Amino acid sequence: MFVAGDGPARVGWRAGDAILDLANAGLGDVFAAHELNPFLALGRNAWEDAIGRIESHLVSGRGPVLPLDDVELTLPFRVADYVDFYSSLEHASNLGRLFRPDADPLLPNWRHLPVGYHGRAGTVVVSGTPVVRPCGQSLSPGADRPEFGPSRRLDIELELGFVVGVGSRRGEPVPVDDFADHVFGVVLVNDWSARDIQAWEYQPLGPFLGKSFATSVSAWVTPLALLAEGRVEAPPQEPEPLPYLAGGRDWGLDVELEVELNGAVVSRGNARGLYWTMPQQLAHATVNGASVRTGDLMASGTISGAERGSEGSLIELTGNGAEPLQLPDGTARTFLEDGDEVVLRGRAGSAELGEVRGRVLPAVCRPGAER
Ligand code: MN
């Protein structure tokens, strides 16, 4: 979605550095909407038909086409519900070791179900939106009581999320094999995380204020249809999951990923190693009878590889702050400083995913909030 001048948000199709203005291309009334949701609700046949017509429209050189630089990008869809999973074996193991050094890094449930939590849909923001450093409670090492103030351990999480187009009915779980009938496409996600707030608050009910202040997504949703050449077999699962989670292994996604911090690439990884696939995540999220709806966003969890330099968060890249990253500008980083800019990038074959960009602004801890 984009805004040109003072007008309302319009649906666009990105082709390199240009945008096809779908609201004015004569390709259907559904594109006159000011958000993608009505189109998302139409379903797979309509999606594939529209993509075919858009591509032939572009091949024949028809417009209207606008330069990417001339528009402001906006949130591409109205986010209904937001779920974040924890599907990278390497990330879950790395964090388990950091947060619970004396225990088995993987909790007993991890290999049996895609662990997740419900996040805050209302604070999902589009790429380019600045992120204000959050304030909150944390417990300093050795302290016997928490203090209130700006997070000192602001981090990123590199993730891939899927966007639900066609909802499901309450009481009717979505089988693994029906994934592509419900899901339109994917976005890159930066799940900004305040590690100090998170570490103090997360037990026993999981992430809360350490995550809910902002989650950034790309301004472009890449349709599943354009990821066909990136589909690969996901890694083997041991033990075999329960029958409702069996299958969906042909939805590994060979998406090359990159994290850039202040202009320097600090991590390179790939989404193909994720232990739980998107169809398994959707099947799990609905197996209890919960329904999904148009605009639901479900993110993978941080994508980390086994090699050094392929981790999707600073807490992992820096060994919990013990090994700072040396940046080419001569500075070093453990966690994010005010003014830092992070860009996430992804590519699946010839399809480049929309980037996720965000700059950290200084905290504004409201007077009185600590009383
Ligand atoms: Mn996350």
> How do residues 84-125 score in pLDDT, each as one tens digit?
999 999 999 999 998 889 999 999 999 999 999 999 999 999
371 falls within a domain: no
Residue 339 tokens, joined: 């003014």
Among 17, 42, 73, the domain-final residue is 73
Percent of the chain, pLDDT > 90?
95
Collect all residues with Cβ–Cβ distance below 8 Å to 323 and sequence separation of at least 6: none
Query: Is 15 in the same domain as 129?
Result: no
Cα(234) to ligand 1 centroid in Å equals 20
Query: Is 261 in the same domain as 122?
Result: yes
> The CATH number of the domain where 20 resides is what?
2.30.30.230
Residue 128 tokens, joined: 């380019």
10: DSSP letter = B
Q: Find out whether 63 and 25 touch, Cβ atoms under 8 Å.
A: yes
Query: Is 135 in the same domain as 59?
Result: no
* Number of Cβ atoms within 10 Å of the Cβ of 33: 17
Query: Is 158 in the same domain as 274?
Result: yes
Cα(85) to ligand 1 centroid in Å equals 7
Among 17, 52, 73, the domain-final residue is 73
Cα(313) to ligand 1 centroid in Å equals 10
Query: Is 174 in the same domain as 37?
Result: no
Cα(192) to ligand 1 centroid in Å equals 8
At 368 the pLDDT is: 66
Query: Is 356 in the same domain as 236?
Result: yes
SS3 category, 365: coil
Catalytic residue among 34, 91, 118, 182: 91
The neighbouring-strand residues paired with 352 are: 347
Query: Is 137 in the same domain as 248?
Result: yes
Q: Which residue has the tokens 């320097």?
A: 264
370 falls within a domain: no
Read off the pLDDT of residues 200-216 as tens digits, 9 standing for 90 and up. 999 899 999 999 999 99
Q: Does the active-site annotation cover 91?
A: yes
At 370 the pLDDT is: 54
The reply to whether the predicted model has a pTM over 0.85 is: yes
Cα(95) to ligand 1 centroid in Å equals 12
Query: Is 213 in the same domain as 124?
Result: yes
Among 73, 95, 128, the domain-final residue is 73
At 235 the pLDDT is: 97
Q: Which domain holds residue 142?
A: 82-361
> The CATH number of the domain where 285 resides is what?
3.90.850.10
Confidence of residue 297 (pLDDT cuts 50, 70, 90): very high
At 298 the pLDDT is: 99
273 falls within a domain: yes
SS3 category, 103: coil
Total number of domains constituting the chain = 2
Average pLDDT over residues 270-276: 98
Query: Is 166 in the same domain as 303?
Result: yes
369 falls within a domain: no
Cα(70) to ligand 1 centroid in Å equals 32
Read off the pLDDT of residues 142-151 as tens digits, 9 standing for 90 and up. 999 999 999 9
Cα-Cα end-to-end distance for the chain = 42
Query: Is 43 in the same domain as 113?
Result: no
368 falls within a domain: no
Q: Find out whether 229 and 349 touch, Cβ atoms under 8 Å.
A: yes
Average pLDDT over residues 193-198: 97
Read off the pLDDT of residues 168-179 as tens digits, 9 standing for 90 and up. 999 999 999 999
Cα(288) to ligand 1 centroid in Å equals 22
SS3 category, 260: strand
Cα(54) to ligand 1 centroid in Å equals 34
